[in-house]
């Protein structure tokens, strides 16, 4: 039985997601936005029966059992933790929350309610080119161990001329190429290789600080370029260049995995391979069209295709079980969970730190909640000493 859907957010992902959910038989029951006007507008455009600007009004609805958290990252943890507490399944947008603290709270909540689905929205894990690439690695297509992963993503500006200033323009609020594109890259590497980064270096830059519509007191602080290197636990080197600084370019991605005897490479949505010093061969061509009409979107096509596959997997997880909101694990077992989300936040944070300190930084995954009381009393003690 498919669960009813509650949506948080009104951005481009929501507009793409709604027709895909419906195509797969899901019913959208409610939508939330920070302003009632935005919520109303979206509800009207997409024929959603209920809209609100109160979080609880969605979470407490009896007809809603699966929540998509696609609003600004500062609300991810709050909504996700509360929703799990009320017994709702969660798919939360990447990167989980604003920082490791947020992601850590989400991990704890997810662990507390293991009977509920708690996923991070990383659609590349469902894109056929990458699932085939992962299988080829597992089947030892490369014949020798992976040595190098070289990733390059070019996209047009993350802002259009009609965009007004919002969280996407702000680095701290979770905007920019590192959070929005880099998070997928960091997650993808682990998905493909089952390895995590132990050490990173990065250069993160904001070249475009104003647009024709964002040129007042507030400037864009979200980076439009980053180049980073990661050393995985098994010694493999990853290098990634993410450029959304090039005006008007279309989305291009190349993910190349090398060994000493061959390579696998995803270009766009297609997979190629070469081994044994032979020629590069086609391993998977993405000729499949989108099965449902999605609005023309600023989102890259491989990303939308990934969302389609992810929603289809959710359908497979819920459909076979008769009880309300019951599910089976297998169809979504390769999706990113909250623990993956915490890891991604740790890597992004290390890359940012490296860009500031001009050094390689060890990836440090949070294992316990920072004790704010202890920090506070230490500060009070220091003040008392300095005043005495």
Residues at the site binding a copy of itself, with contacts judged by CB under 8 A:
147-148, 150, 152, 201, 203, 205, 207-208, 225, 227, 229, 237, 239, 241, 243, 245-249, 256, 258, 260-263, 274-275, 277-280, 358-360
Q: Which is nearer to a copy of itself, 216 or 248 (CB)?
A: 248
Q: Is the dihedral of CA 202, 207, 211, 215 positive or negative?
A: positive
Q: Give CA–CA dist 361/353, Å, rounded.
A: 7
First-to-final CA distance of the chain: 67
Q: Which is nearer to a copy of itself, 40 or 252 (CB)?
A: 252
Instruction: Work out how close the CB of 214 gets to a copy of itself at its nearest, in angstroms, rounded to a whole number.
Output: 13
Residue 281 CB contacts under 8 Å (≥ 6 apart), including other chains: 272, 273, 274
Q: Which is nearer to a copy of itself, 260 or 297 (CB)?
A: 260
**CB 270 within 8 Å of CB 256:** no
Give 71's DSSP letter: S
Kindly give the residue spans of alpha helices, DSSP state H, lying in 46-202. 55-59, 76-86, 100-112, 128-138, 176-177, 183-193
Q: Which is nearer to a copy of itself, 44 or 209 (CB)?
A: 209
**Torsion, CA 31, CA 35, CA 40, CA 42, rounded to 10:** -60
Give 290's DSSP letter: P
Strand partners, 36: none
Q: Three-state SS for 112? A: helix
Instruction: Work out how close the CB of 148 gets to a copy of itself at its nearest, in angstroms, rounded to a whole number.
Output: 6
Q: Which is nearer to a copy of itself, 210 or 334 (CB)?
A: 210
Q: Which is nearer to a copy of itself, 108 or 205 (CB)?
A: 205
């Amino acid at each position: 039985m498919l669960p009813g859907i509650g949506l948080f957010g009104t951005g481009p992902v929501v507009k793409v997601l709604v027709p895909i959910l419906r195509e797969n038989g899901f019913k959208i029951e409610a939508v939330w936005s920070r302003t009632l006007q935005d919520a109303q507008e979206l509800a009207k455009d997409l024929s959603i029966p209920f809209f609100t600007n109160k979080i609880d009004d969605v979470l407490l609805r009896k007809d809603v059992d699966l929540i998509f958290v696609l609003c600004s990252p500062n609300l991810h943890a709050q909504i996700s933790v509360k929703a799990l507490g009320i017994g709702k399944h969660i798919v939360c947008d990447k990167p989980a929350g604003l920082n490791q603290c947020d992601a850590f709270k989400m991990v704890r909540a997810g662990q507390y309610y293991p009977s509920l689905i708690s996923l991070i929205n990383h659609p590349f894990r469902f894109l056929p080119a990458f699932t085939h690439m992962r299988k080829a690695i597992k089947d030892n297509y490369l014949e020798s161990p992976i040595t190098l992963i070289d990733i390059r993503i070019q996209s047009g500006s993350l802002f259009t001329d009609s965009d007004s200033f919002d969280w996407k323009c702000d680095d701290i609020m979770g905007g920019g190429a590192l959070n929005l594109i880099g998070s997928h890259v960091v997650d993808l590497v682990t998905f493909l290789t089952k390895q995590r980064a132990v050490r990173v270096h990065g250069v993160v830059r904001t070249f475009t600080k104003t647009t024709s519509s964002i040129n007042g007191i507030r400037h864009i602080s979200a980076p439009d370029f980053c180049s980073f290197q990661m050393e995985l636990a098994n010694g493999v080197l990853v290098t990634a260049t993410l450029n959304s600084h090039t005006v008007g370019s279309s989305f291009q991605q190349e993910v190349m995995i090398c060994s000493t005897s061959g390579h696998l490479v995803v270009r766009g949505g297609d997979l190629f391979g070469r081994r044994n010093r032979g020629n590069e061969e086609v391993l998977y061509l993405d000729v499949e069209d989108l099965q449902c009409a999605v609005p023309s979107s600023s989102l890259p096509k491989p990303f939308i295709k990934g969302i389609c596959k992810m929603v289809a997997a959710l359908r497979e997880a819920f459909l076979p079980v008769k009880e309300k909101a019951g599910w089976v694990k297998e169809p979504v077992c390769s999706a990113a969970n909250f623990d993956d989300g915490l890891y991604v936040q740790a890597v992004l944070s290390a890359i940012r730190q490296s860009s500031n300190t001009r050094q390689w930084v060890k990836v440090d995954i949070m294992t316990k909640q920072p004790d704010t009381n202890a920090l506070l009393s230490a500060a009070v003690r220091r003040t008392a000493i300095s005043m005495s």
